[in-house]
Amino acid sequence: MAILEIREITSGYGEVQVLWGATLALEENRLTSLVGGNGVGKTTLLRTVMGLSKPWNGSIWFEGRDISHTPAHTKAEMGLVLVPEGRQLFTDMSVAENLEMGATPKRARPHFRRNLERVYEMLPRLKERKDQKAGTLSGGEQQMLAVARGIMAEPKVLMIDELSLGLAPVLVLGLFETLLQLKSLGITLLLVEQNVQMALAVSDYAYVISQGKIELQGPSRELAKNEHVRQAYLGL
């Protein structure tokens, strides 16, 4: 059974429609990727699922419950967590303070110490920088902190928007390894990513979005072999 289902969602901004009946499902304890080019609706889909943009039509179901019009803070309390594009950290606060802010949902507070230990074990550079202001971190360290803050919220489903954007390849590899560690902890993941090759390499299942519609879907290994995906997205 899917833990998160997005059914025929249409959405947009003002009078501009971006999503045209997008449908996808996240199976529990699986890493699912949503891939596609710039401006095709990936971020809009995440914002709509999280409740930051309102769906025009369609429905969103989480653990068998219709959450289409549930406020974003309530969704976070339920265990649906978004790591947004652009990180959106509290730049004047320390690394440790940013992590504390991540643990604000009631369901996360009893697990604060355990999650903090996990974060520092998976991303030891953050422990080294825990007293440093977030705004002074490198781009890669800021992305680590954004993911770590999401982990502190005790997510059932963690959605990550553009994990690798603007980062050096060596840092990208480390962050993708962190995703696999999170999956091993039982966290269901939705990765929205422009780096199609890396996303397909680490995910179990993938959706290809184009012009606000899901164009293809299937096991990631099969999509990586698909001739259309290889030509259109991998340059092969």
Kindly report, residue by residue over 32-78, the tens digit of the pLDDT.
999 988 889 999 999 999 999 999 999 999 999 999 999 999 999 99
4 beta partners: 26, 62
pLDDT exceeds cutoff 70 at 235:
no
Radius of gyration of the chain (CA): 17
Amino acid 65 reads: R
In this predicted model, which residue has the larger pLDDT, 235 or 14? 14
pLDDT exceeds cutoff 80 at 178:
yes
pLDDT exceeds cutoff 70 at 236:
no
Query: In this structure, which long-range contacts are made by residues 84-89, counting pairs with CB atoms below 8 Å and at least 24 apart in sequence?
Result: 84/46, 84/146, 84/161, 85/43, 85/161, 85/162, 85/165, 87/142, 87/143, 87/145, 87/146, 88/146, 89/134, 89/135, 89/142, 89/145, 89/146, 89/149
What is the pLDDT, as a whole number, of residue 230?
85
Distance CA 48, CA 170 (A): 32
Distance CA 69, CA 91 (A): 31
User: Model pTM?
Assistant: 0.94
pLDDT exceeds cutoff 80 at 234:
no
CB-based contact 160:50 (threshold 8 Å): no
Q: Over range 194-203, report the average pLDDT.
A: 92
Question: What CATH number is associated with residue 103?
Answer: 3.40.50.300
What is the pLDDT, as a whole number, of residue 104?
94
What is the pLDDT, as a whole number, of residue 233?
76
**pLDDT tens per residue, range 137-157:** 999 999 999 999 999 999 999
Please give the share of the chain, as a percent, with pLDDT higher than 90.
85
Mean pLDDT of the chain: 94
Domains contained in the chain, number? 1
Q: Which domain holds residue 126?
A: 2-232
Task: Indicate the Cα dihedral angle 27, 189, 192, 207, nearest 10°.
Answer: -20
What is the pLDDT, as a whole number, of residue 231?
84
Angle between helices 112-122 and 169-184 (to 10 degrees): 140
**pLDDT tens per residue, range 89-144:** 999 999 999 999 999 999 999 999 999 999 999 999 999 999 999 999 999 999 99
